[in-house]
Structure 1
Amino acid sequence: MALHSLPRRAPQMGVRWTRRFSTSPRNASYADTLPNLKIGAHTRVLFQGFTGRQATANVKESLEWGTKIVGGVKPGVEGEHLGLPVFPSVKVAQERAKPDASAIYVPGNQTAQAIEEAIEAEIPLVVAVAEHVPIHDILRVHSMLQTQSKTRLVGANCPGIISAIGKCRIGFQPLPCFAPGNVGIIAKSGTLSYETVASTTRAGLGQSLCISMGGDVLAGTNFVDALKIFEHDSDTQGIILVGEIGGTAELDAAEWIRDYRQRSADPKPIMALVGGLEAPAGRIMGHAGAWAAPGEPDAQTKYQALERAGAVMVNHPEKFGEGMKTLLGNRASRPGTNSISNGGSQRRGFHTSRRVTPVSRPLAQQKRDLYIKQFQAFDILKQKSISINEAASSFDGSISISVDRTALSPCIVASPGNKVDPAQSRRFPFSYTLANFENSSIIPEVASHLGLPPSAQSKLAGLVQALWELFKEKEAFVLETRIGSFTDGSLEVRGARFGFDDAAYRSSGRQEDIHSLRNKADEMPEEVEAEKDGIVYVKYGPPTHIISIVLTVIDYKAKAASAHWVCIFYIQFRSPDSQPLTLSIVNGAGLAMNTVDALTIHGGHCANFLDTGGKATSETVKSSFRIICSDKRVKTIFVNIFGGLTRCDMIAEGIIMAFRDLDMKVPVVVRLRGTNEELGQKMIAESGLPLHAFDSFEGAAKKTICLTRSS
């Protein structure tokens, strides 16, 4: 592929607003860095955080696989590690080793600084894998990225990027799943991408290039960026996109796919999945960015947009392999024709059951962020000398400061009227470096949209300035106010809802005064108790039948690194002789969301959620099972595991030990896929315990439902 032939990045399609600030000089655009994603055998990789435990283990695996690693950085230190040079800074590493890419292996609170150092050294590609990077740190990073044309970012909060053909891994993807081939994959979810990779490998297709968009609110590389790479990559014959709830990236991708299929005589087949079809409104579903803000589309809207654009949709990633094999076979047998252009029935052919329409639910509190009470928000505004009317019940509009996921910047969100209408809301992005709104051209446009007279513009600028200062000072992710206006141009705040970034406090120890406003006495006791063990537990109303789902990726090989991820769910089913129960779904990251979606197609509904987080230990897992067993409603436990970074036999051993230690009586269905899956399944089958082993999701789901309904 000729990299110089790649087109410059066009403005994102489907965007409902206009950029209001210049992001770069005329000849220096972040879009110019798009070709840097095309990694391969030639790519020289540098590691930041080189000598740490996780980086050391990753370097050893990647070197053995064939990745060309040229050394790493440890600030202020020179020497050698794993037979490779250690550099005192990224700048020195760039001068001496000439790396093409840098893998950042530092904690979330240090990630932004590491990215900034790589940008300043003009490293062509930077891959940030860390979770819990404070959102304001990433906003600052994007304000830098948008003013340069040398460095491309992948992440943060992602497994990275990998070329199966070129044997180049920059990230922590499970290598046994990958095989050289012709399918390009772009995914928000790491675990769903591993399932997708394994499915295409089992089908004999393999992969060309796999790019992770990541699960954060602001992604350095998005779906459209990856689709442009795949379009012009001769190694990529089929494309798979894995999305989820949160933001508009899937809608942008749908617009791109529609345009691509119209302008291409023989477009490459595209398949897709969207996780979170059953996610409740307003909840953060594991990933920091996996939630839909007011006015953003839900997962069902994204699914329908992609389907209308011509993507072949599936409900579970294990269907990607055989589905893509069929599409590529059709394309090969009919060269020059569009094998799925009129495929209405074909697009539904990879589903196994009915589609379920989600039920709307009221907005619930975000567990990964702190929403303070209105009177507390009013107290903060009073400190900024903002006029407050706590007794007012009518509103003339709303003004908010939030994050624009497409512009990768902060934005003003304005909505006229007494009720917030997403259709009437408008976003006005602005630069993170903007200091003052007094003379900003945005204010007259915001006032006009709200229907405020020119005399109110000065007061509006003051309110927006105060909100912007609070947004930065206190590291908020949304500051929403409901306002009232008067004929003399004065404004007052009559309602407020403020949300603050949890990562800023938990990973960086900042904003303690804000987060001390949390009152645990107002929360459910079981949830607070679970939190002591690092577990997020959400309990809902009592269903008739319940299935608990455990989704686990536990790295027993690197126990010291605490590379564990566990999510446990309760899935509620209607009883055979009752009406369907109210849909109430709360789940974790991509694999978890998709599991709930797929089980719902078989007739289930989720009622509870338990997530042990990204650094769970064996004790955390045991505490999780203990919580499950304390709920007498649980009739069956469904364990859905993809052993990517670990071995399925090790996972099976952990499940068996937990089962015996807790003296569990309920039947357990275990679906194992991944490394050593046959051995893990055999261990489960021969354990003598009421455990049922499967490799197919379909079979495991049906068995789970059967056991639940017969109990």
Structure 2
Amino acid sequence: MAASRSSNSCHAMLFRQSHAKHFLPKRRPFSISRTVRSPYDDTVHNLRIGRHTRVIYQGFTGRVATGNAKDSLAYGTNIVGGVTPGKEGEHLGLPLLPNLRKAKEQLKPDATAVFVAAPQCGQAIEDAIEAEIPLIVAVAEHIPLHDVMRVMSILKTQSKSRLVGANAPGIIAPIGFCRIGFQPLPTFSPGHIGIVAKSGTLSYEAVASVTRAGLGQSLCIGMGGDIIAGTNIVDGLKVFEHDPETEGMVIIGEVGGRAEEDAAEWIKDYLQRTSKPKPIAALVAGIHATAGRIMGHAGAWAARGEHTAAEKYSILQDAGATMVDHPENFGTTMKSLLSQSGRDVSKITGNPTDQKRGYHTSMRRGPAARSRRPQNQHQHTRSLHLRADQAPKVLEPYLSNLEGVTLTSNAAPDSAFYIGLTVDRTERQPCIRTSPTTDISRFRETAKRFPFDQREAPPDSLIQSAIAHLNTPESATKHLTTLINSMAKMYKKTEAVTISSSISISPQSQQIQLHTPSMVLQFDDSAYRSNKRQESIHQLRQKDLEQPEEVEAENHGIVYVHLSEDPSANIGTLVNGAGLAMNTLDALHIHGGKAINFLDTGGKATSETVKKSFELILRDERVKVIFVNIFGGLTDGGMIAEGILLAFREVEMKGVPVVVRIRGTNEEAGQRIIAESGLDLEAFDGFAEAATRVVEIAREGKK
């Protein structure tokens, strides 16, 4: 597999060279926590969907579910009915039942598509677990984090049900014409490449590239971009390994969490134990994500001590994955890797409907169908971070009366240690995290996680293990135990994402001191958005201290992040989808350009959001050119082009030229509208060509 250890793509080589200073040295060891095997691991085979899969809908009669079901039925998905509480009869000519118990008995489903709004979605998933539905696909955004952790605590105790999501496009088997989710169907083609991705838009780009290469897809799993995912990258790789229809694997990761590192560990093991391994290609978005910022997806941020996206890139490459810089390169890269691995590419690129079936049984291709977007389509999850000077007010109800514990506004000494309550994304649970040092250069190696069931308080034995890892005096154990118990209560009560602090022990009084300047107080915004919980916490947000454009963008369902005040940055970006927006920043850097902003219009941009996006970008006086990068998966290319023309009619463009790259759904119409507009617009379909032109304008002006 030597060929798979280095990219044959010149783009990947440029990517590696242009970001060399960000990467880890070759063969540098890295550590990840080892997952304790649970019964839930045995459900991974439930992901092997196909024509045989009997699918039901929860929330069947809702507008979005109805439209989605119509499209999936036309595609060929074996939908056998659905559930809407309190209703019984027929819907779309299929059985409609009032509860999952009856649906399980009468319809015998293999999978359920949970099209239920976020406030009720957690309970809907629990109902599906109780009914022992083998595969549960949850697409809704803004399911509160603690609801998801509770669901995962339940799932880890059983071996019947598997969850995909939440906040994910779902899962689709193109060979079996089985779609459970809202993927853009015209992009997909039956074939032999398995794809597992955090980002929806990046996965659609990858799918389109693989389709253009004639390889098609066997199974595509949308992991989703939330902090916790019911199915992760390693789960997808396990399925692809044993799937007879899958000849190659594609991984799409991004900044935040350890899923990519866990995947790298799996890849190394796989390559060692397999005589003829399937080739693996990968991409990691967010190389140039702003540290400490949430880049669109709820989980797109790196916690203290976590590897950056650039480091993840290096880790995956060192493990044996071939890296690409942009998803449109997956098709040619995978074709080359398949040939190098000794596989007959001519057979793999042949018509898969003429080939023998494994677990996929459908032999017909359903008609192209339009995609249906789930609820909350223009909302973006953001965590609430409180400032250090707000800490005493929030902490007081939980820590003010603790014996031997005090708050101090003094900076932490060099001898301080770290205690936090946060999320273990690999274990899909809350955890205590401790480190005997706060030295950031050593923190990655010294910090340790101690996960526990979200439904319960952390057991005393776990707390004692966390304290023992600190190497503190035995005299401090009692006070530290009380402190961790109180922090755990606060963590659950306030639905926090992270509560942490540098802590020291006073040598004179043996008091435990929490140093507020070092505190991280991060709370789940979805709990407030979706369920109106934690209102008192979220009222502490001070929007007047935030970037005005970011606040205004949020009011219009747009995620805008002001990147820096770098005077050499002069490219404005407008992209649909958080993962694609991150990758756009990364790829522009390869071509020598610097963006002033991250802007995600949402998975389904509209003419109005495009117009507002232009207004926001143009407020930055540094902008010399705007790059519109749209992949028309859920978004119609013609509609986006019309939105751009609307912006030119109604927004003062200040003479700033616009380069538009439209690919995917209705791309020809979008490109034609731009080309025939007579306006200061240039249209491309290839990313490299568009990016090259954008950088040329940014450097030398319009020619």
Q: Shorter-chain TM-score: which interval?
A: 0.7 to 0.9
In the TM superposition, 1:220-259 aligns within 5 A as 220-259=230-269
Q: Distance in 2 between matches of 1:241 and 1:399?
A: 33
1:441 aligned to 461, 467, 470, which one?
A: 461
3-state secondary structure, aligned to 1:196:
helix
Q: Is the 8 A contact 1:14 1:255 kept in 2?
A: no
Q: Which residue of 2 aligns with 1:551?
A: 575
The separation in 2 between residues aligned to 1:377 and 1:523, in whole angstroms, is 18
**Mapped pair 1:494 → 2:515:** yes
Q: 1:509 aligned to 514, 529, 532, which one? A: 532
The aligned counterpart of 2:585 is 596
Q: Partner residue of 1:622?
A: 611
Q: After the TM superposition, which of the residue ranges 670-679 and 621-630 deviates more from structure 2?
A: 621-630
Which residue matches 2:451? 429
In structure 1, the residue matched to 2:161 is: 151
- Specify whether residues 442 and 436 from structure 1 end up closer, same or farther in structure 2 by C-alpha distance, changes over 3 A only: closer
Q: Is the 8 A contact 2:136 2:161 kept in 1?
A: yes
Shift of 1:498: 1.1
Quote the offset at 1:545 in angstroms: 5.3
Please tell me whether residue 394 in structure 1 is matched to residue 418 in structure 2: no
Q: C-alpha distance in 1, partners of 2:110/2:512?
A: 53
1:374/1:662 CA distance change after superposition, 3 Å: closer
- Of residues 700-709 and 400-409 in structure 1, the stretch that sits farther from structure 2 once superposed is 700-709
Aligned twin of 2:428: 408
**Farther-moved stretch of structure 1 (59-68 vs 597-606):** 597-606
1:52 correspondence with 2:62:
yes
Question: Aligned partners of 2:173 and 2:657: how far apart in 1?
Answer: 41
Candidates 93, 101, 104, aligned match of 2:114? 104
Whether the 8 Å contact between 2:502 and 2:514 is mirrored in structure 1 is yes
Whether the aligned pair in 2 keeps the contact of 1:135 and 1:501 (CA below 8 Å) is: yes
> CA separation in 1, counterparts of 2:261 and 2:269?
13
Residue 546 of structure 1: how far off its partner (Å): 1.3
CA spacing shift, 1:708–1:59, aligned 2, 3 Å: same
Deviating more after overlay: 323-332 vs 226-235? 323-332
Deviates more, 1:96-105 or 1:478-487: 478-487
Partner of 2:22: none
Instruction: Give the 3 Å change call, closer, same or farther, for CA 535–196 of structure 1 in structure 2.
Output: closer
C-alpha distance in 1 between matches for 2:553 and 2:339: 50
Q: Supply the AA of the counterpart residue of 1:80.
A: E
* Alignment partner, residue 594 of structure 2: 605
Match status 1:482 vs 2:472: no
Cα displacement string for residues 524-579 of structure 1 (whole angstroms, at most 9, x for unaligned residues) = 33433444434443333152451212113xxxxxxxxxxxx6xxxxxxxxxxxxxx
Instruction: Note the C-alpha offset of 1:478.
Output: 0.5
The 5 A counterparts of 1:323-334 are 323-332=333-342
Judged with a 3 Å threshold, the aligned counterparts in structure 2 of structure 1 residues 391 and 291 are, in CA distance, closer, same or farther, namely closer
What is the Cα deviation at residue 662 of structure 1?
A: 2.0
SS in 1 for 2:406: coil
Q: CA deviation at 1:367?
A: 8.7
TM-score (norm 1): 0.84
Give the C-alpha shift of residue 615 in structure 1: 7.3
Name the count of aligned residue pairs.
626
Aligned to 1:660: 649
Q: Which amino acid is 1:434 matched to?
A: E
Please point out which of 107, 115, 125 is paired with 1:115: 125
- The equivalent of 1:261 in structure 2 is 271
2:676 counterpart residue number: 686
Q: Does the 8 Å CA contact 2:607/2:640 hold for their aligned counterparts?
A: no
The structure-2 alpha-carbon separation of the partners of 1:160 and 1:646, relative to structure 1 and needing over 3 Å to count, comes to: same
Q: Do residues 34 (structure 1) and 44 (structure 2) align? A: yes
8 Å CA contact 1:459–1:489 kept in 2: the answer is no
AA at the equivalent of 1:620: T
SS in 2 for 1:412: strand
Query: Percent identity between the aligned chains?
Result: 56
Alignment of 1:376 onto 2:399: no
Deviations 1:263-311 (A, max 9, x none): 1111111111110111122211111011110011111111111111111
Distance of aligned partners of 1:404 and 1:233 in 2 relative to their CA distance in 1, 3 Å threshold: same
1:279 aligns with 2:299: no
Distance in structure 2 (CA, Å) of the matches to 1:367 and 1:227:
28
**Whole-angstrom distance in 1 between the partners of 2:344 and 2:65:** 47
Give, as a single letter, the amino acid of the residue that structure 1 aligns with 2:619. Answer: S
Give the 3 Å change call, closer, same or farther, for CA 191–23 of structure 1 in structure 2: same
> What residue is the counterpart of 1:669 in the other structure?
659
Letter in 1 for 2:539: S
Q: TM-score, normalised by structure 2?
A: 0.85
**Equivalent residue, structure 1, for 2:373:** none
Distance in 2 between residues matched to 1:23 and 1:513, nearest whole Å = 39
1:203 aligns with 2:222: no
CA-to-partner distance for each residue in 1:493-541, whole Å, 9 max, x for gaps? 2333211111111122110000111122322334334444344433331
CA contact (8 A) 2:660 2:681 kept: yes
Q: Which amino acid aligns with 2:525?
A: D
How far, CA to CA, are the matches of 1:536 and 1:163 in structure 2? Answer: 31
- Asked whether the 8 Å contact 1:23–1:147 carries over to 2, the reply is no
* Change in CA separation of 1:528 and 1:61 when aligned onto 2, cut-off 3 Å: closer
Query: What is residue 521 of structure 1 aligned with on the other side?
Result: 544
Corresponding residue for residue 463 of structure 1? 483
- With a CA cutoff of 8 Å and minimum separation of 6, indicate the structure with the bigger relative contact order: 2
1:632 and 2:621 matched: yes
The aligned counterpart of 1:212 is 222
Matched-pair contact (CA < 8 Å) for 2:569–2:593 = no
Give, in angstroms, the shift of residue 417 of structure 1: 3.3
Indicate how the Cα distance of structure 1 residues 333 and 624 shifts in structure 2: closer, same or farther if over 3 A, else same: closer
Task: Tell me the SS of whatever aligns to 2:624.
Answer: strand
Letter in 2 for 1:271: A
* Residue 616 (structure 1) shift: 6.1
> Equivalents in 1 of 2:511, 2:621: separation in Å?
58
Please say which of residues 441-450 and 211-220 is displaced more in the overlay.
441-450
| Matched AA of 2:574 | V
Q: SS of the counterpart of 2:41? A: helix
- Root mean square deviation, CA, Å: 2.2
Q: Is the 8 A contact 1:283 1:367 kept in 2?
A: no
Farther-moved stretch of structure 1 (417-426 vs 214-223): 417-426
For the structure 1 residues 391 and 103, does the alpha-carbon distance in structure 2 shift closer, same or farther, using more than 3 Å as the test? closer
**2-structure distance, mates of 1:492, 1:321:** 56
Q: What residue number does 1:705 align with?
A: 695
Conserved 8 A contact 2:53-2:110: yes
What is the CA–CA distance in structure 2 between the aligned matches of 1:69 and 1:14, rounded to whole Å? 45
Is the 8 Å Cα contact of residues 217 and 289 (structure 1) preserved in structure 2? yes
1:649 CA drift (Å): 2.1
CA distance in 1, matches of 2:603, 2:664: 19
- The Cα shift of 1:490 comes to 4.1
C-alpha contact (below 8 Å) 1:545/1:635 kept by paired residues: no
